[in-house]
Each structure stands twice: as C-alpha cells, then as structure tokens.
Amino acid sequence: MSRIDFDIAHLLAGLLVLISFLELYQDRLYALLNVFALHALVLAASVAWQAFIQDAPHLYVTAAIALLFKAIVIPVALHRIIVRLGIHREIEKVVGVGPAMLAGIGLVALSMVVMLRVTPGADPLTREDLAFALSVVLLGLLMMVTRRNAVGQVVGFMSLENGLVLAATGAKGMPLVVEISVAFSILIAFIVIGIFLFRIRERFDTVDVQALDRFRGER
Amino acid sequence: MVLIRDFAVQGAQMLLVLLLAPLFTGFVRKMKARLLRRQGPSLLQPYRDLLRLSRKEVVLADSASWLFRVIPYLVFAATWVAASLVPTFRTGLLFSWSADLIAIIALLGSGRFYLALAGLDVGTSFGGIGSSREVMIASLAEPAMIMIVFTLALIAGSTQLSTVAEFMASPQVGVRVSLGLALIGLIMVAIAENGRIPIDNPATHLELTMVHEAMVLEYSGRHLALIELSASLKLILYVSLIACLFAPWGIEAAGATVPTLAIGAATYIGKLAAGGFLLALFETSIAKMRVFRVPEFLGVALMLGLLATLLRFVSASF
Amino acid sequence: MILTVALACSAVLLALAAFAVTIARAPLATRLVYGGCALVAAVSLGAALVDLLAGAPPLSVTLPVGLPWLGAHFRLDPLSAFFLLVVDLGALSASVFALGYGVHEDAPERVLPFYPAFLAAMMLVVLADDAFTFLTSWEFMSLTSWALVMAHHRVADNLRAGYVYLVMASFGTLALLLGFGLLAGPDGLYTFAQMRAAHPTATLAALALILTLIGAGSKAGIVPLHVWLPLAHPAAPSHVSALMSGVMTKVAVYGFVRIVFDLAGGPAWWWSIVVLGFAGATTVMGVLYALMQHDLKRLLAYHTVENIGIIFIGLGLAIAFAAYGMRFAAALAFTAALLHVFNHSLFKSLLFFGAGAVLTATGERDMEHLGGLIHRMPQTAFVFLVGCAAISALPPLNGFVSEWLTFQAILLSPQLPSWGLKLLVPAVGALLALSAALAAACFVKAYGVTFLGRPRTSAAVAASETDRFSLAAMIFVALLCLIVGILPGAFIDALAPASLAMIGERMPVQIGSQWASIVPIAASRSSYDGLLVFLFMVISGGLAASAIHRLASDRLRRAPAWDCGYPDLSPATQYTAMSFAQPIRRVFGTVVFRARESGEMPPPGATRPARFKVELSDPIWDWLYAPLVVGIGFAADRLNRLQFLTIRQFLALVFGALVVLLVVLAAWS
C-alpha cells in the first residue's frame, strides 16, 4: 500500500469525524438529517476505498448497504416520521455549541491517546483509522447525551454505529455474516424506536424527553 | 545582476497585487450580479470609483483628530506590505524572509487595530457599533488563523511562506487530514476577515447589518479611497494565500526565467478568476448570519484549527 | 568591583530613604529625592549593563550583616545582571516620571521615604545569594510597597486593597520560606552555593517547585493567586503602580527562575505540565477580566496578569525542553520568556505613566468619564498609542518580537515525547493566540474610550498636557519599545549569557545576520526582520501619501459628524467602555463570569429613566476565596472559645501538651 492510499483513507476517516462535529453544530432537524445522510455517504466511500486497497470485494457489499440504507432509506423514513408526527423542528440542546465543541475536541484527543498508546505494535494505518473510528463513536454518544429531542438521539445512535462499521472495516475486514447481522439488528432497533415514537406521540402529544420525565412523576 | 532581477521581481509582485486588487473586486461584483441575472457594473468600475473618490473633497467631522487623518495611510501601508509578501506567481521573493506567516497575520491585525480606533475617533455610536463587532470577530478569527498557520508550519517544517508554498507544490505533501481541516478553517477565516456574507454584507451601508462599513462611515474623499483599496488588497491577499498554499500548481520557484514567469502569471490570473467565481457563488447561495451566530461560526473554525494542530502533534502521519 | 557598585547604590538608596523621612515636608524634597533615585538608578543600570555585555564570570561578596553565623551573601551572575538591568531601567524611568508627577502628591511624607527603600529592596532581592538575605529583602520589598499602596489611606477601596495585599504577601513569603527550608535540608545549608551543590531527591524538588509556584507565583500574579494585584496596583500612586506591575512582578519571576532552574537541581518533565497549565489559565483569565473593566489602572493591572501568563508559558516550555535534554529549544523558550520580561516592563511602565498623566490632568481614573483627550493632551496621547500598539503585539514594535519567539518555541514542541505535553501544548498555543487577539481588542477599547471621541464630563474638557519630566520619561520608554522592535537581535544576544547560565545553551548569534533580522533556529525555518518591516511600512505609507498629494485633491472641510437627522447629540450617546465590550462579554462572559444583562423599561407614562444592569461574578473569588474566608472565620470563632476557659482548664491544656511531648520523646527511636 503506497503513501497515497494511506492518505486517502485517513482523509475519508477524518472527513467522517468532521461531519460528526457538523452534526453536533446543527440545530434544525431537517439539516441534521441531511448531514446524517452525508455522514453515511462518506462512510460508504470510506468502506469502498478500504475494499479497493485491501482487495476485499465483500466490503463493497457493506459499502452498498451503508449507501442504500443509511444514506437514503433511513433519512427519508425519518423525514416522513417527522412530518407525520409534526415534531417541533428545532433541536433543543442541553449545553451550548461552544462547550459541546470543546467536549468534542477533548473526546477526539482522548481517543487518539487511548488508541495510540494501547496498540504500539500494530500496523500504523489500522491504528490511526481505529483512533478516528473511536472518535466517531464517542462523538455519537456525545450527541445522544446532549440532545433533548428523541429524533436527535436516534441520529446520534446511527452515527455511533457508523463509527463501529468504520472500525470494523479498518481492522482488515469483518466476515460478511457479522456485518449482515449487525445491520439487521440496527434495522430492528430502528423499527422498534419508530413504533415507540408513534406510541409516545399518541399518548403524550410530544417527544421531548424532558416532558416525558415530567409524566413519569419524577419532577 | 541576480540581485537586480530579484529586486525587479519583488517590485513587480507588489505593483501587480496593487493593480489587480480593484479588478478582482470588480470581477466578484460582476459575477454576483450575473448569478442573480443582472447585468452588473463593469469590471473597471472600482478603478473609476477610486479615481472619483480621490478627486473629491474630504469632509471631516468636527471632533475628528489627527489620528483619524493618518489612519488610512497606516492601514494601507500595513495591508500593502502584507499583500506583497504573499507569493503570487513566484516563490522565493527577495524579502520574503523578512516576515513569515505569523508576521503577515500580525500586520493585518495591526491594520484592523487602527481601523477600529478610527471608528471610535469621531465619537458617535455608529463607529462604536462597527468597532466593537469588528474586535469581537477578530478575537476569534485571529486565533483560528494562527492555529491554521501552526498546522501548516508543522507539516512544512517552517513558518516562512515561500518555504511552505514550495513544500505544498512538491510531491512530498500527500493528501493529509490536517491539511483538509486547515483548508476548511482557512476558508472560514478568510470569509470572516474580509467581511463577506455570511459574516458581513459588503454591499449595503445599513449600520445595523454591517461591521466594516460602520467603522469607516465618517471617511470620505481620498481617505475613503485608500481604505477601499486596502479592503480590496486584503481580499486579494487571502485569495492568493489560499491559492499558493492549496492550489500551488504553476508557481515558479526562485531562479526562473521569463517564459516560466509568464506561465506563472497566467496560472495566477486563472486561480484568481476561479477563486472569484467560487466566492461569488458562495455569497449568492447563503444568507447573512445574525451577529451573535458569528462567534459560533468562528468557534468552529478555531476548533478545526485546534484539531488539525492536535493531530499533527499526536502523529507525524496525520 | 561591579557588585560593590551595585550594593553601594542600594546603600545610597536606603540612606536617601532615611533622609527623606526628615525632609519630606520641604518644598524641594520631591525633586531632591526622585532626582537622587534617578541618578543612583542610572549608575546601577550602567553597572549591570557593563556586566551583562562583558560576559564576566559571577562575582560574589559576603557582608558581615544579618545572622552572625551566616552573614549576607551577594552574587552577580548573568541572570542577576539581567534582572538588575530590568529593575534599574524601570526605576530610572519611574523616578524621572515622578519628578513631574510627584509634585501633585498631597501627602508626600507617606510616599517619599518608602520609594527609595522599595527600589533598594528590589535591587537586593536580585543580588541576594543566600536564603536569609533573599527572604529579608523580599519581605522588605512587600512592606515598602504596601506602605506605598496605603499612601492614600482615606479612600475606602485602598484600605481593602492594602489588607488583601498584606495577607497574600505574607502567605507568599510563608510558602517561599518553606520552599527554601526544604532545599536547605536538615543541616541548614542556607547559601545558594550550598543548595546548588546539594542534590535534593525528586519528591523534595517537586515540593520545592509547588511552594515556589505558590510563593513567587502569587507575587507575580498567577491565577488563582492574583487577586491582590488588581486591587493593590491601581491604589498606589502611578509611578509606584508602574514599578509594581512592570518591575516587582519581574522580581518574582526572577525568584521563580532562580529556584526552579538553578537551586532545585535539574527540572523534571512533569513540572512543565503544572507550570503550563497555570500559565495558560492565567493568560486567558487575565485578559478576560481586563475586558470587563472600565477603571483604566485596574485594566492595566489585569493585563499584567495576562503578560505574566505569557512569560510563564515560555518558562514552562523551557522546563519541558530542558528536562528532555533539548537544550537549543530550551534556550529559545527561555530567551523568549526573558525578552518578554524586558518588553513588558517597558510598555507596562509606559502605559501606567500615561494613566498617571491622565489622572493628574483630569482627576479621573474611570474611562467612562473621559474621552477626547487626544485634542487636549496630544503628546501623551501619542506615546500612549505607542504603548497600546506595543502591548497588542503589533509589528514593528517590541511586543510582537517576544510573542513571535514564543510561537516559534511552541512549534518546536511536537518533538517532546510526553503524551501529556503533546495534548497540552497545542491547547496552550490556542489560549495564547486567543489572549493576544483579546488584548488587542481590550486596548482598542482603552485607548478609544479614553483618548478618542468626545469628552464625556467637564473634567475631561478641562484636561491639559502633562509636564516635561513626565513626557520625557514616557518618550524615552516609547523610543526603547521601538528600538527593541526594530533591532531585536542585539537584545537577544545581550540575553545570551543569562540563558547560558541557566540552561547551558544559547540561541545562535543574531548580530551580523542580514539586515538585522533574527533567526531563532535556522534560516530555512523561520526569520523575522523588524527593521525591514518598519522600513517597508514607512516607504509604502510615504509612497501612498506622496501619490495622493500629487494626484488627488487636497481640499478638506470640517462639518458636524453624521447624526442620522438628530442634531446636537450629547456625548453620552457615544460608545462607553462597557458597551464596547458587550459583544465580547456576550460571547465569553456568559460562560466565564456568568454575565447577565437585564434591562428594565418603565411603563408608558412613567417619567423615570430606563435602567440597564450588567451583573458579573468573579468565579475565582466566589469559588476559592469566599469559601476560604468563611471557613477561616468559622474556625476562628470556634478557636475563640479557648480565650474564655477557666484557670483549671488552662492548666489542664499545659499538662496535656507536656504529657504528649514526653510520649513522643519516649516513642522516637
């Protein structure tokens, strides 16, 4: 693998981290869905590039699944859900953009330090890609923690899974069956979440999770 | 002989930038107009504007001081010196070692310092609005720019702009993550520093929506001509900077001959045209942000610069 | 020989102080005392300069004063010579300034005796070579400056300032005392030569570092121990404020450098993390506090805190590089810090002199009551502008050079192997860049609101130009700022002996490089030429001016300012300091200071004015000092009960203490 292959793989992984930051910055729901679609697109490109340089054709299937489901089907479905539920289209955040960005930088630094210290003997390309993948996972978790809106939390969960896929492809490919099972479990989780959102909306007229806390009698 | 030729090239660069600056501003305005399906003013209109302004009488406020009259010259001097140090068609300029990227940023910062003082000099609230917003924008844009300079310096091993430009043109540079982050950050900072949409609207003169125009509200005549020329110089400086760092093809190294210099000049004009078109496209497709969203925008640029520097510190392959 | 000259100067100053007690009320006393101080400072300055430039080996002398078995040791090595130079330059310019400013003092007997003593104490601290002399001179310095802070004791703010200063100074000296005690060891090796020869264990050296950071750092102004600085520095007379901010903080930096680089053995790498962490916080917090101020002298005092942060960033980087054996890089960082020490003493003195001139001319320190002074005090306004440009690190002045060198040192840091440093140094670099930009913003505010615009009160209207002594001092310092900015190579070479003494390495020789440029590492890497930048700016400005003069119209007409159709606007409609800082207060202040703005509009028909209120809270005071004060008060109340015991209970206490001591004696093996 030549220098340019390394660099393009790094570039795509870094672009994924950048788009995760962009997701943290968004405060409008439709824009968030568009950025999430972009996230999945870049993931598909990254997986396809890994398939090219590792000469592993089954990764092309993974890339196609990511492209089809995550970049097209899921954003469109979420868009429909938002329209049908009439969800309030601004995302309330628990912390402001500035502190969230700072926390994001701290998490990226943390994942760099952890990955590069824990794996001193491994192949440098894999280590650095794993560091980026861990960053994407942590940023997805940060998104879930700092959003008040359930749809925002779903998007955070999806981008977390994107990070896991990036990690798995970077580590010289995973068997296709594992990938398919992971994808199916995500799909099931998504369907369940969608059903729950409908039920919550029917009962309480809102999907703001803080409002749900009120109904639990805790406040 | 070599010294005289190098001197001539440096002088040619300084004059080129000065003469092209109003043309570039006119080009961007023309492109914006055409994208909005208007005819737009002619490409040479900024030259006519400058000539007209310099022939007009200066109307000075009663409370303006000597500093108010000197500041346009200070701002122009600082901006012109900075602009002439950025390689356009040739690196290795004779005096390029006298000021590196950090010094260029500081020169532009001093131009901004004096302009903000000019806004406060007359003692009305319009100047105050412009100056206070300008320093708020600068307090985030300048650190972002310095972090981007750090990233570039850590990749190229030097803060000297000629050395960085030559490194970027060489095959060793590769496609790096931190360079990508630095490019996006630099574009965001360039938009903020030049007061383009979405930070500030260069076309209106409404004090509530503007930053730069509010600071120079009281200037007229030849002073205003100098300040407008400085603003055009700053814009062409930033476009040249982005071109020589991230699109360095065609820049000739030191010791080039006349034909290659001509090729370098031609590619530079082409890069300016491309940059102007992209700027016009960007400005017509996005709306101006509310003033207190600008810190969030620039905060993202600062974070990108910090992240890029952090990545370079962590590993040399980023 | 040079050391004897320096010590003789201190002795003359002490004698002058004693003399000033007797003649303080006489009409010529002010001129006599300040003139004498200026003369002595000039002699001492000459001696220090000769010693630094000649690169002579260190000189020592022992005087038979002080403790009988110890004596008083004094030593002049290159580091001491450099700091003596800084002290003397500040003393000279402050004394010349005071020749004009001191005449307006209404209680000269409270200022004149303590001023020469203050100068003498600072010189003695820098020359001291054993712990006892050092600490005595340090305490003497604190006491004399405290007396000067309390000179105008009828003002209530000054009382509080003096009280906080006394408490913090005592606390700092206690920390330094413990630190020296640890370094001296159980055998009581108090001289610095003995401390250098002893090699303390790593834990001992680490404790000494922490105590030095607390002791010297609180005197220098490291956050969170800086709280006394913005209270005490503005309270003193302006020439003393200049000395306290510009020189006394540098003496504290000297103490830190002497202990950490010289006496505690070689520094450990993790010390740099502690120093850099505090330094980064100091830089940003200092400038953010300064942006919220509208008192001119308090703003300048907070900027001192910020610049001390910048100096300690350089020192922290020097510690990191030295610990890993990268001595060239350590020399670069160390030289950057020392150059900033020199530069800051210059432009901070200039700015405080300007503030003093404004105070004398208008009687106001609050920027919200000033304005339009550029028309009434044109020369003061010009030199103050030079000071503002220098502190905002604008080329071609001196502030830019030291900041540029610090940035170059930061760019060498990726070679450091420690992970903590790899993550901390970029963050510190970002904080440094942020504080530089915020400092420029703050000085646009300070200069613009005070000198530009229209006068806001009658006091500002009645201002007149300062006297020629004050102006001479300010012009002298402003010229020095320009010279250091244009010819930095000469000053960097002059600092080289100090860097050699502490780090063991120096920066490459700068004199003789092309066109007086400075090349900190290698010509291919980076270089800066202040002279050429200055010449270029002058030539471009001149070309523009002559072209305009030749080709453009030169007519000019005065007219009222644009008023949007509302004629005769009152000066109250122009921007004030608080309104200028409002955008930055919104961006940074809501997080750091919990800034809340509230406006109260009266209902229609009511005739009272609308009110706009800004609430700021000081996080360090609320979270660190207020609980501490409450805790100490609580403990003191509890312990107070010991005063009201019966005789039997007192006897029981004495008996109990005796029994405990006997048990300890029995159990000690």
- Which of B51, B132, B148, B213 to mutate to test binding with chain C, by most C CBs within 10 Å of its CB? B132
CB distance A16 to A39 below 8 Å:
yes
From CA B75, how far away is CA C514, in angstroms rounded? Answer: 27
pLDDT at B85: 87
Structure-model confidence comparison of residues C90 and C669, the more confident one? C90
pLDDT at C54: 86
Predicted structure pTM score: 0.90
Are the beta carbons of B176 and A10 separated by less than 8 Å? yes
pLDDT at A199: 74
Judged against a pLDDT cut of 90, whether residue B250 lies above it is answered with no
pLDDT at C56: 79
Judged against a pLDDT cut of 70, whether residue B256 lies above it is answered with no
Mean pLDDT score, B136-157: 94
Q: Cβ neighbours of residue A104 under 8 Å, at least 6 residues apart?
A: A20, A21, A24, A139, A142, B303
Are the beta carbons of B77 and C544 separated by less than 8 Å? yes
pLDDT at C250: 96
From CA C390, how far away is CA B317, in angstroms rounded? Answer: 39
Judged against a pLDDT cut of 80, whether residue A138 lies above it is answered with yes
pLDDT tens sequence across C7-27: 999 999 999 999 888 887 887
Judged against a pLDDT cut of 60, whether residue C247 lies above it is answered with yes
Judged against a pLDDT cut of 70, whether residue A49 lies above it is answered with yes
Angle at B315 between CA B309 and CA B318, to 5 degrees: 70
Whether C591 has its CB under 8 Å from any CB of chain A: the answer is yes
CB distance C18 to C24 below 8 Å:
no
Band (A17; pLDDT cuts 50, 70, 90): very high
pLDDT at B90: 77
Structure tokens given for A32: 């968030």
Are the beta carbons of B123 and C378 separated by less than 8 Å? no
From CA B44, how far away is CA C663, in angstroms rounded? Answer: 99
pLDDT tens sequence across B170-187: 877 777 888 889 999 999
List the one residue out of C136, C161, C167, C134 whose CA is nearest residue C148.
Answer: C161
Angle at A102 between CA A97 and CA A107, to 5 degrees: 120
Residues in B closer than 8 angstroms to A6, CB to CB, are 317
Judged against a pLDDT cut of 80, whether residue B70 lies above it is answered with yes
Are the beta carbons of A105 and B318 separated by less than 8 Å? no
Q: Is A89 in a helix, a strand, or coil?
A: coil
Indicate the Cα dihedral angle C15, C19, C21, C26, nearest 10°.
-150
Average model confidence (pLDDT) across chain B? 89
Angle at B183 between CA B182 and CA B188, to 5 degrees: 95
Give residue for tokens 């400038």.
Answer: C287
- Which of B179, B309, B311 to mutate to test binding with chain A, by most A CBs within 10 Å of its CB? B311
Judged against a pLDDT cut of 70, whether residue B275 lies above it is answered with yes
pLDDT at A180: 67
pLDDT tens sequence across C285-342: 999 999 999 999 999 999 999 999 999 999 999 999 999 989 899 999 999 999 999 9
Residues in C closer than 8 angstroms to B158, CB to CB, are 524-526
Q: Report how far apart, in Å, the C-alpha atoms of C210 and of each of A31, C258, C278 are.
A: 51, 14, 12
Judged against a pLDDT cut of 70, whether residue A181 lies above it is answered with no
pLDDT at C349: 96
In chain B, beta strands by DSSP E: 58-61
Judged against a pLDDT cut of 80, whether residue B235 lies above it is answered with yes
Give residue for tokens 């505090």.
Answer: C278
pLDDT tens sequence across B6-15: 788 888 888 9
Residues in B closer than 8 angstroms to A98, CB to CB, are 295-296, 299
pLDDT at A115: 82
- Which of B98, B314, B318 to mutate to test binding with chain C, by most C CBs within 10 Å of its CB? B98
Residue of C nearest to A114 (CA): C419
Are the beta carbons of B116 and C438 separated by less than 8 Å? no
Structure-model confidence comparison of residues C516 and B11, the more confident one? B11
Are the beta carbons of A109 and C423 separated by less than 8 Å? yes
Band (B209; pLDDT cuts 50, 70, 90): low
Residues in B closer than 8 angstroms to A11, CB to CB, are 175-177, 180
Judged against a pLDDT cut of 60, whether residue A173 lies above it is answered with no
pLDDT tens sequence across C451-496: 999 999 998 999 989 999 999 999 999 999 999 999 999 999 999 8
Nearest CB among C393, C407, C557 relative to B59 is that of C557
pLDDT at A152: 82
For chain C, the first-to-last Cα distance in angstroms comes to: 52
From CA C212, how far away is CA C261, in angstroms rounded? Answer: 12
Q: Report phi then psi at A31, rounded to 5.
A: -65, -40
Mean pLDDT score, C113-133: 94
pLDDT at C161: 94
Judged against a pLDDT cut of 80, whether residue B159 lies above it is answered with yes
Which region among B192-206, C354-368, C410-424, C476-490 has the lowest average model confidence (pLDDT)?
Answer: B192-206
Tell me, letter by letter, the H, E, C secondary structure of C266-309.
CCCCHHHHHHHHHHHHHHHHHHHHHHCCCEHHHHHHHHHHHHHH
Mean pLDDT score, C27-53: 91
- Return the H-helix or E-strand segment holding C152: none
pLDDT tens sequence across C191-205: 888 888 888 888 889
pLDDT at A178: 60
Judged against a pLDDT cut of 60, whether residue A157 lies above it is answered with yes
Q: What percent of chain B has pLDDT over 90?
A: 56
Residues in C closer than 8 angstroms to A98, CB to CB, are 591
Are the beta carbons of C423 and A113 separated by less than 8 Å? yes
DSSP A159-217: HHHHHHHHHHHHTT---HHHHHHHHHHHHHHHHHHHHHHHHHHHHHS--BHHHHHHHTT
From CA B273, how far away is CA B26, in angstroms rounded? Answer: 11
Q: Which amino acid belongs to residue B281? A: L
Are the beta carbons of A108 and B314 separated by less than 8 Å? no
Judged against a pLDDT cut of 80, whether residue B255 lies above it is answered with no
Structure tokens given for A213: 């806390």
pLDDT at B36: 92
pLDDT at C46: 93
pLDDT tens sequence across C590-616: 888 988 889 999 999 999 988 989 989
Which region among A200-209, B110-119, C555-564 has the lowest average model confidence (pLDDT)?
Answer: A200-209
Band (C570; pLDDT cuts 50, 70, 90): confident
Give B 139-168 residues with CB within 8 A of chain C.
139-143, 146-147, 150, 153-154, 157-160, 163
pLDDT at B38: 92
Structure tokens given for C255: 């103490």
CB distance A164 to A57 below 8 Å:
no
Q: What percent of chain C has pLDDT over 90?
A: 62
Residue of B nearest to C431 (CA): B143
pLDDT at A99: 84
Average model confidence (pLDDT) across chain A? 81
pLDDT at B207: 62
Beta bridge partners of C295: C366
Judged against a pLDDT cut of 60, whether residue A219 lies above it is answered with no
Beta bridge partners of C75: C60
Average model confidence (pLDDT) across chain C? 91
Gap from B56 CA to chain C (nearest CA, Å): 6
Judged against a pLDDT cut of 60, whether residue B201 lies above it is answered with yes
pLDDT tens sequence across C102-114: 888 888 888 999 9
Whether C668 has its CB under 8 Å from any CB of chain A: the answer is no
Structure tokens given for B165: 């430009």
pLDDT at C117: 95
Mean pLDDT score, C244-252: 95
Judged against a pLDDT cut of 60, whether residue C211 lies above it is answered with yes
Judged against a pLDDT cut of 80, whether residue A172 lies above it is answered with no
Nearest CB among B310, B314, B317 relative to A124 is that of B317
Band (A10; pLDDT cuts 50, 70, 90): confident
Band (C267; pLDDT cuts 50, 70, 90): confident
Angle at C84 between CA C81 and CA C87, to 5 degrees: 155
pLDDT at C41: 94
pLDDT tens sequence across C425-447: 999 999 999 999 999 999 999 99
Residues in C closer than 8 angstroms to A114, CB to CB, are none
Are the beta carbons of B95 and C536 separated by less than 8 Å? yes
User: What letter does residue B174 receive in the DSSP assignment?
Assistant: -
Judging by DSSP bridges, how do beta strands C611-615 and C596-600 pair with one another?
A: antiparallel
Band (A212; pLDDT cuts 50, 70, 90): low
Beta bridge partners of C60: C75
Judged against a pLDDT cut of 90, whether residue C28 lies above it is answered with no
Gap from A38 CA to chain C (nearest CA, Å): 30
List the one residue out of C207, C203, C199, C219 whose CA is nearest residue C181.
Answer: C207
List the one residue out of C114, C88, C115 whose CA is nearest residue C6.
Answer: C88
Judged against a pLDDT cut of 60, whether residue C131 lies above it is answered with yes
Q: Which amino acid belongs to residue B230? A: S
From CA C608, how far away is CA C600, in angstroms rounded? Answer: 11
CB distance C503 to C488 below 8 Å:
no
